[in-house]
Amino acid sequence: MSNFLSIINKDKPVLIDFFAEWCGPCKMMSPILKEVKDIIGDKASIIKIDVDKNQELAAQLQVRGVPTLILYKNGKQLWRQSGVVQKIDLIKLIESHV
């Protein structure tokens, strides 16, 4: 958990993707997130967290379904959504918090 807190306590936005290997929609999100990262570059970080390997963290953050995307900045949750999110929506969201 302390490692997670150090990740989200950054001055730039951090998008966390809670996923599972067995999840079909999560597999759809992977190339979308790669494209988003290619476009936004160093303006934000994108971190993938496997809920099966991090069950305690997922439970603490009440991640009930995957994929769940959460945007943090300076340790504060700014946005959260479950399900597949389109590239343009993620870019607009991140750009609005840079």
- What contacts 33, CB < 8 A, 6 or more positions away? 15, 17, 46, 48, 90
Of the candidates 20, 23, 84, 91, the residue annotated as catalytic is 23
Q: Is 23 a catalytic residue?
A: yes
Of the candidates 14, 15, 16, 26, the residue annotated as catalytic is 26
- Specify which residues 69 forms β-bridges with: 17, 81
State the catalytic residues: 23, 26
